[in-house]
Structure 1
């Protein structure tokens, strides 16, 4: 495990060098936070209690959403872009020669990235939002712990999705089309546009059952204490998707490795 820890640490250091990009990203998230707040205030004043959220819940959702977009990798991250590009160009052969597991290697890279983004960009929009609006915060150490666990699980679910998207390039040559489709699905089903609790009927039921819901909506609901079936069920939902995506990723890795060997590397 020492090698994977070292990879994560180096990944953290790598992303910490992009200071201007990090500051720009935090500023952009903050600006969009105010824009979304304007939209949400109008919507919730028109429909009070929409989706079981009050106005304070809705505004808290906005700032948590903006703070988690980068750590969770809703718009894609190293795993999607860099790994997908390495598959497309054939540089993935170098990764396969390493005496490490391909999936664990990239999971370590993504973990270092996510921790840095969480520390550098996750808190800034939330602090600004808390100064400007009356937001809700966890009321007990137990709830804070549940939030931390849920955010970590959400990042793992997101990695599982992005890893499979990147590896699709082994079969379709270029994964950029799949990346674009995955981005649309992620924005719609994660809660990056609207909380999934406002989606009506069967559409809402389907949306809340997808793995994308486990990346953003579930951690925010744990923060808000808005889990109808309890926090335990919410965390179990995330764990189930981690197992499913992990097994799918492992199988895809094995099949992809065989494909590379068949093609002569």
Structure 2
């Protein structure tokens, strides 16, 4: 199917090995979307057949993707790095057996390990430490970061002055155990929208967001009264000319 552009599946696809003869008959030169596949399918042989891939979803035991093999130091995530046209990456950790469920993911790969043109990143159930999420600030082209349910763990997320998400425009934080969040207004200089969902223990949204001139929207869904009041405080201190919009559900929070 040389003209195939998009492959979408609800299941985690296990792709067959690429033919050893390197024939063009197995290539997908126009393929732009491949979602979702198993971590084991992120092989060099498979990705070599998809040089123009722009969107990739990986679902399964993500530790298989991030860990180096004992012999040879091979890491499957290095193959994703070679997808130079990839702009959208989703990593969804799922445990299909007790062994996978007991697996602790290592820290997020360094920025240079990610595709060079990555604009959108989604993490789900990866349970990375919040300090590791700071690593993503070094992705200079990253515009959208979705931290879905349990993508990060820990009570505190502290961003010092050296952590800057330069191009980030949309940040979503899903269900998590986050309690304390501190950052500078310079941490998110281009942020336009902040979406917080089911962070029921979060004490407050950092007041520093009042000084982020680009920020136009904050959405709080099913957090708590403390977090909601802190968001209202941000709204009240934003310049009126900013046309800032705050949404809080349920409204009594």
Counting strand residues as a fraction of each chain, which structure ranks higher? 2
Counting helix residues as a fraction of each chain, which structure ranks higher? 1
| Higher relative contact order structure (alpha carbons within 8 Å, sequence separation ≥ 6) | 1
TM-score if structure 2 supplies the norm length?
A: 0.23
